[in-house]
Amino acid sequence: MGGCVQGNHRRLRRSFGAFLVALALGGMAATPSLAFADSANLVALPDFTPIVKQYGPAVVNISTTETKEAQRPQSPFPPNSPLNQFFAPFVGPSGPAHKYQVQSLGSGFIVSPDGYIVTAAHVVRGAQKIIVSLTNHQQYQAKLVGLSTRIDVALLKIDAKNLPTVQIGDSGRLEVGQWVLAVGAPFGFENSVTQGVISATSRPLPDDPYIPFIQTDVPINPGNSGGPLFNMKGQVIGINDQIYTNSGGYMGLSFSIPINVAMDAVKQLKLHQKVHFGWLGVMVQDVSMDLAKSFHMKEPMGALVSQVEPDGPAAKAGLKPGDVIVSFNGQPIYNSAQLPPLVGALPAGYIAKVGIIRDGKAMTLPITVESLPGDMAEEAGAPHSAQAPEQKGSIERMHIQVGPLSAAARQQLGVSSGVLVLGVANGPAALAGIRPGDVILQVAQQPVSSVSQLQKLVASLPAGQPVPVLLHRREGNFYVVLSLPK
């Protein structure tokens, strides 16, 4: 660290010395003298003082208390074993699990004078007691009105009147480079103010597909969660929610929930309604360069449909695996992460115009959006007994061994056909990412129904050309690209 600072000082001295020499030479020579530009700055540095004075009192600190249970360690030997005496000092007496309390801190902001407060759901989820502290040092016990774990937004209510409130802005009008301000309680330091700029908008994260996050470089740390992100007008345009970190602290990447998304959920929570999400009933993935070639596309763009839920909205409209969604209600779709937030924001019954590419041809399908089912079942993995060993076979060109799926396995996995991958050797399949336990559903957009049919299909494919292969794995269906030898 010190070396870097010293190096910078040395470079500064060299630069300043060179400047003096150049200035002296310029004065000696018959050349125009060096002049400094007297123009106004393109950008003025912001002063956040008015925002903090006017809206800082509407930012609150939230402390929660949650009771958890710690299981007592158990002896690895039966109760009547003489070896238990050696473990008794370590495991302690037997009995019920030990209960302990966990306290945590977060932030929030007041949205109405009568005591409604917005924060992040993970700040208050599971809490038995929620205490809200105002900047005037008054404290209130808060009631949880409702929360949405999928949006990570919660609505609280305290018994108070004539409270200061924030002004809600429009997160749909944000642009990269705009100054923003965060107020919260990082590491418990109440009413701390940090600033930065918007680094990106509509940034998807793997665990939150329905939230088009605002990415900033505002220093956010534990305790900031649930606090407001202000624009230069003093309007709240986001809820500080997550950071990207390897150390547990700020590393330059902060993510906030857009206020338009959050307040839409808050309106439903205030009416004690379940938060609605639009649903098409598809699984999608990005289109790589190899996948684009295998589907005869000119460029890798769009959301590739890898799975269609039976009797879901997309299935009813005729959408199929292998279709590539390239537009949604007239908005271009460049990658799969763009689609869930657009769909999730639509009400049930809305007819969306979905532009797709099928077999290299463009077409538009009208799809009636439905509500996301509340009891979406998790996909189950392929059981070990899914194959009949006496019917397994080898696919020499792919360097794999496969076997048929039993009727029970197909029902459990939710697939109507396919073969189970039993073993993968070094070769084309391994390079494509196929591994044991995968179910091969399609090859070159042809359904796979049996081991023998797959053998014939693979034998007929051309060499050296990208071939799309649809797989089922525990997470769902997805495509890989296979290139076969002669």
Q: Which of 63, 107, 122, 148 is catalytic?
A: 122
Q: Check residue 394 and give left, alpha or beta (phi > 0: left; psi -120 to 50: alpha).
A: beta
Examine the residue annotation and report whether 225 is marked as an active-site residue of this protein.
yes
Helices (H) and strands (E) in the chain, counts: 11, 29
- Cβ distance 225 to 254 under 8 Å? no
| Beta-bridge mates of residue 447 | 442
Rounded Cα distance between 348 and 343, Å, is 10
Q: Is 225 annotated as a binding residue?
A: yes
Examine the residue annotation and report whether 472 is marked as an active-site residue of this protein.
no
Identity of residue 307: Q
Q: Is 223 annotated as a binding residue?
A: yes
Examine the residue annotation and report whether 122 is marked as an active-site residue of this protein.
yes
Rounded Cα distance between 208 and 89, Å, is 45
Rounded Cα distance between 256 and 91, Å, is 44
Rounded Cα distance between 31 and 34, Å, is 9
- Cβ distance 216 to 254 under 8 Å? yes
Q: Is 414 annotated as a binding residue?
A: no
CA distances from 192 to 90, 137, 182, 188 (A): 44, 15, 8, 9
Q: Which of 63, 148, 152, 199 is catalytic?
A: 152
Q: Which of 225, 254, 294, 306 is catalytic?
A: 225
Q: Is 477 annotated as a binding residue?
A: no
Q: Is 152 annotated as a binding residue?
A: yes
- Helix, strand, coil content of the chain in percent (nearest 5): 25, 35, 40
Binding-site sequence positions: 122, 152, 223-225
Binding-site sequence positions for substrate: 122, 152, 223-225
Q: Supply the residues annotated as catalytic.
A: 122, 152, 225
